[in-house]
Amino acid sequence: MKKFLKKATTSIIGAGLLSAGVLLSSSNVMASGYQVVLQGSRVTAMGNCAVGFRAGAPSLFFNPGAMAMEQNSSIMLGGNIVSSNVQYLGANSTTIEETDSPLSPPFFAYGIYKVNEKLTVGLGVVTPFGSTVTWGNEWSGRYSLNELSLKAFVIQPTVSYKVSEKFGIGVGLDIATGSVSLERNLPIAQAGGDSNVLLEGSATPAIGFNIGAYYEASDKVSLGISYRSKIDLTVEEGDATFTVPQLGPIQAAFQATKFDATLPLPSVISVGVGIKPIEKLQLALEWNMTGWDAYQELKFEYDAPVLGSTETVSDRHYKNSSVFKFGAEYMATESLALRGGIYYDQTAVEDGYITPETPDANTIGYTLGLGYTVGERFTIDVHYLLVDKAERENVAAPNSGGIDGTFEAGANVFGLGLSYKFGGSSKASE
């Protein structure tokens, strides 16, 4: 009995606490690993491109080197409505099961201020990590996950300097924090009823940095490069609470305890090119690489022994992955911008390491949007993103915490951005 309980605890809590540490986890259908890239309506509509051209206030997040090249101070507020769905077919089943996840609302807010012609400062608040995934307590994988609720955000103070009329550089701090709640069933038939574990924790604020450079080679070609550092985000004194109906030695083996866990927000390097073949048309090409190889294992340490063990380790074996993007914007009139784009996002999760929290696969994203400027200074942007992940079969590797079967995921994202420019010149689009 004790051997069985210890094995169950290791696989369910050790691997399952993946999500407890994953407040950096994102909507698991949005991007590779646990990323979400929804930090600007114009950017999203243009295939998530923002590094190689003047993207407005979102340059603060995507390439701070371009922020100094903006001609105006500005403020921007916006958000997204994400409707995601994950389907699962068990290895020996003909029944397709799916999530019943509520809508999630990632948001973004920026303020940039031109101190003078050379110096620009800004502050951004974004939610690049966060999701709610609900499988329920009756699906076949309920011993891996019932429900996951993640809330995370990043505050980014940034400084950008225009070195010359063609070249700008910038640097900022990334201050990240968040919280998580996870629930899953426990496979303990001897307990005499449904048993579960509830994991809750908050992350200690952690700091990273980002840096970027932007160069306008000519009126038709611009170049950008940016780097966002890895951040180790840590849950300290998280709560692990067990509900085991039967009294006696089984219940005694699952006493509430505290846990600590650390998970990386990986580094990201981005290179982009902006091309204006004609005055009204802005094209963008971009490549990102995310340093997922920093995530090789997930380790949890407990304040009190759980069935004789004070730590568990689960293998992850993530690999670096790339995203290839293309976006376009056409000024149909002086006030109306039409936008579209596409991107291909390689998965970071190797075969055998797919879990219900992150059923990742190679992804194609299709984007559309438009922007309309009222009175030269106030702009309304709307966007739509269709996320299509490839179907992927998983044969769970030992000590991965995954389950056998086939996963397929997708999402529909609708969003809105409102921005206002003040000071300087008031062009409809920059």
Residue boundaries of the structural domains of the chain: 2-422
Lowest mean pLDDT among 53-57, 115-119, 189-193: 189-193
- pLDDT computed for residue 16 by the predictor: 41
Does the pLDDT at position 426 exceed 60?
A: no
DSSP 91: T
- Residue with more model confidence, 23 or 386: 386
Fold of 2-422: Porin (2.40.160)
Token pair 């307990």 is found at 191
Contact between 113 and 85 under an 8 Å Cβ cutoff? The reply is no
Q: pLDDT tens, 141-180?
A: 888 888 887 777 899 999 999 999 999 999 999 999 988 7
Q: How confident is the model at residue 371 (pLDDT cuts 50, 70, 90)?
A: very high
CA distances from 173 to 28, 66, 282 (A): 26, 16, 30
Q: How confident is the model at residue 298 (pLDDT cuts 50, 70, 90)?
A: confident
Full DSSP string of 39-68: S-HHHHHTTT--SSS--STTHHHH-GGGGG
How confident is the prediction for the chain on average, in pLDDT?
85
- Residue with more model confidence, 28 or 76: 76
Q: How far apart are the first and last CA of the chain?
A: 68
Q: How confident is the model at residue 428 (pLDDT cuts 50, 70, 90)?
A: very low
Q: pLDDT tens, 260-274?
A: 888 788 899 999 999
State percent of the chain over pLDDT 70: 85
417/234 Cα distance (integer angstroms) = 32
* Mean predicted confidence (pLDDT) in 56-84: 95
* Mean predicted confidence (pLDDT) in 8-22: 41
Which residues are within 8 A (CB) of 97 and not within 5 positions of it... i.e. 6 or more apart? 87, 88, 89, 90, 135, 139, 140, 141
Q: How confident is the model at residue 247 (pLDDT cuts 50, 70, 90)?
A: low
Burial of 65 per CB tally in 10 Å (0-12, 13-18, 19+): buried
